[in-house]
Amino acid sequence: MTIKTLLAGAGIALALGTAAFADAHGPTKLGFVYVGPVGDGGWTYEHNKGRLAVEAHFGDAVETVFVESVPEGPDAERVMTQMALQGADLIFTTSFGFMDPTINVAAKFPDVKFEHATGYKRADNVSTYSARFYEGRAIQGHIAGQMTQSNIIGYIASYPIPEVIRGINSAFVHAREVNPDVEFKIIWAYTWFDPAKEAESAKVLIEQGADVILQHTDSTAPQAAAQAAGDVVTFGQASDMAEFAPFPRVSSIIDDWAPYYIARTQAVIDGTWESKDTWDGIGPGMVGIGEITDAVPAEIKASAEALRDRIASGEYHPFTGPLNKQDGSAWLAAGETADDGTLAGMNFYVEGLTGEIPQ
């Protein structure tokens, strides 16, 4: 960092210090930066539900603002700066790609708290939070492995980052567990939200014989494509996507950010906010499993719910050995569970998956 940028940061901080002082007694102001539109029906939709829950919980004590469909890059930095300048006390940046912009802006506004979803860079005024989506993926894999007739499961992946790879591995391990013949076909869409691209990916997978589609993208387009195909099973991603239940959507992974957002807002109001890393799963309720519909046979539904409860109670970890890496080398010995560090940076497939992670 050069002297010039330091000075610039100091100048902005000074301007903000006076601004914050001026409305110290007003409502606590929260900003939300979204990567997609609030109507995506998935990822951003759930974050926005969390924002609305904060408003409902605190009433007039908080004021929230948001900007949707913010590109990951310099535009994100400007949106965050703008929120900070306008007096935001706490800013949630809800996409992995907002990581560096969040850190940059946070350095210029030491009095504003930042919460970055799914990233790994923290600072004194930057916390990170994420959900253990892979716990939900285990249940998806468990159901998917038994629902498939063709033994081909299609997977629409977004970006080859650890979060996504973790989900693929978790789903695959649990699909293989119940069905040794199952295979995964993975398409990398390189987008979080692009209904046209997602629909196209789903169609390609269906043409290749997949009769179950898992997705790590945020729109309901794959659900619609499956519905059009007729006999293809899907799962809601990030949001319940219940409008496609009971079929093709047979269950879902739901992100429930509301409790976390309320707790962090309370911490700012109380003055007890501290930078930390939160990674919660089914147990604390950050990850929810949407209702398993009657399209799933009763015994599969029962075993899936049992798996859910065992994960929630901490009795079972989705990555429990013996597990090997794709190249056949040993990863986890029998009974051993994966540590969070390995999971956080996961950049390899488990044994049995075909294809390569894009490099």
Q: Which is nearer to another protein, 82 or 293 (CB)?
A: 82
SS3 145: helix
66 is a contact residue toward another protein (CB under 8 A): yes
* Contact call for residue 160 and another protein (CB under 8 A): yes
Number of residues in contact with another protein, rule: CB under 8 A?
A: 43
Instruction: Decide: is 107 part of the binding site for another protein (CB under 8 A).
Output: no
Q: Which is nearer to another protein, 68 or 336 (CB)?
A: 68
Are residues 65 and 88 in contact, defined by beta-carbon separation less than 8 angstroms?
A: yes
Q: Give the pairing type, strands 323-324 and 330-332.
A: antiparallel
Verify binding: residue 111, another protein, rule CB under 8 A.
no
Token pair of 83, please? Answer: 């929120």
Q: Which of 14, 26, 120, 277 binds another protein (CB under 8 A)?
A: 120
Query: Segment near another protein (CB under 8 A), from 71-79, 219-227, 257-265, 303-311?
Result: 71-79
In angstroms, the CA 274 to CA 283 distance is: 23
Q: Are 170 and 318 in contact (CB under 8 A)?
A: yes
Pairing of β 126-131 and β 113-117: parallel
**Min separation Cβ 173 and another protein, Å:** 20
Per CB under 8 A, 85 contacts another protein: yes
Residue 13 found at the interface with another protein (CB under 8 A) = no
Cα–Cα distances in Å, from 39 out to 34, 42, 187, 193, 220?
11, 8, 24, 11, 11
Q: Which DSSP letter does residue 123 get?
A: B
Measured N-to-C along each axis, helices 133-147 and 162-178 cross at an angle, to the nearest 10 degrees, of: 40
Among 5, 149, 313, 354, binds another protein (CB under 8 A): 5
Interface residues with another protein (CB under 8 A) are 1-2, 4-5, 7-8, 11-12, 31, 37-38, 65-75, 77-79, 81-83, 85-86, 97, 100, 120, 159-162, 190-191, 345, 347, 358-359
